[in-house]
Structure formats: structure tokens, C-alpha cells
Amino acid sequence: MSSTESHRIWDILKRYDSDPSALIQILNEIQKDEGYLPHASFELLSSELNIPLSKIYGILTFYEHFKLVKPGKNIITVCMGTACFVKGASTLTTTINNILGIESGETTSDQLFTFERVACLGCCALAPVVQINGEVHGQMTPNKLQKLLTKMRKEEEKGEKK
């Protein structure tokens, strides 16, 4: 863990007076700052809050929203709600699997894309829906998704060459 990360964690602990009962709020704030929960952060919390590491792991694995792996630059979320599922969301997940070579919960080796599936994004009228970096793309098809991902990768490659 870098000294900057460590410093931010100490600031978060101070805001909660190092209160062990605030563990979930502390974890949420660390994840908000870092984008995920680095292993060193919960080792520090275990020591400072006097909470066994096993209890912290239990919380981290119980709540799905906690991320233990650094996410990629672009977060691709496929809605698997009823409307999206009925209208072909599973074909979109297959498209992502085939194009990017990752399953839900994984990140590409180049750290460019992270793929997630969620129960519902609340955009049922636009089904099926894919959200990329918070932007909703409705009435998505495998062909549209392939074009979108290809465009994103090309834009990234252009950005690296500059």
C-alpha cells in the first residue's frame, strides 16, 4: 500500500474515531477512494480496529458490492433483470466473454475493461441494457456491443500512441 493510500485510510479511521462498529462504513469509504479494497487496507483495519482478519473477510465476501480486485479503466455492466433477460441479456454476456475473454467479475489483462452483471439497472423500457462507465446503452444487441467495444479499444490505442 502506498503512503498516499495509507494516509487516506488513517483519515477515514479518524473520521470514525477508529470505532469497530463503523467497519462497513469505513470499508465503503476506502472502496470509494480507491475503487476497490486493497489487501493491505483490511490488514491495517484488522490491526487498528482490533477485529480479526477472518471477520473482515467474512464481511467482504458476504456483501457483493465490495471489490477485492482493482477494476479496469472501463466498467461494463450488463443488466440481468427480467426485462433485459427476456430480451437477450445473456447473448450480451456471451458477446463480452467472446470479445474480451473475461467472465463477470473479471478484468482484462490490460486493465482496460471490467465486466459485471447486476440484477437490475432500472431501465426496463430500454431492455436489454448495458451500462459503460455509468452511461446507459439501451436496446443493445450483440452487434452494437461488439462495435462499441471495438471503438473503445481503438480509442484507447490512439490515446496510448500520443
Residue in 151, 71, 150, 128 with CA at minimum distance from that of residue 104: 71
The answer on 85 and 11 residing in a single domain is no
Cα–Cα distance, 126 to 130 (Å, whole number)? 10
Q: How many CA atoms lie within 13 A of 58 on its CB side?
A: 7
Residue 58: all three cell numbers together: 467474512
Has residue 69 been placed in a domain?
no
Residue 2 pLDDT = 56
Q: From residue 80, how far is each of 22, 72, 137, 142 by CA, in Å?
A: 32, 21, 14, 15
- Residue 8: all three cell numbers together: 487516506
Residue 154 lies in a domain: yes
Residue 101 within a domain: yes
Q: What domain range includes position 111? A: 74-161
Q: What is the pLDDT of residue 157?
A: 84
pLDDT given at position 69: 84
Supply 74's cell numbers: 472501463
Same domain, 52 and 81: no
The reply to whether 68 falls in a domain is no
Same domain, 43 and 86: no
Which of 62, 92, 110 terminates a domain? The answer is 62
Specify the number of domains making up the chain. Answer: 2
85-124 per-position pLDDT tens digit: 999 999 999 999 999 999 998 999 999 999 999 999 999 9
Q: Are residues 99 and 48 in the same domain?
A: no
The CATH number that applies at residue 141 is 3.40.30.10
Is the residue at 127 inside a domain? yes
Q: Which H or E element spans position 136? A: strand 135-137
Sorting pLDDT into bands at 50, 70 and 90, what band is 1? low
| Final residue before a domain boundary, out of 11, 31, 62 | 62
**Residue 149, domain member (yes or no):** yes
Q: In terms of domains, do 44 and 84 share one?
A: no
pLDDT digits (tens, 9 = 90+) for 65-86: 898 888 999 999 999 999 999 9
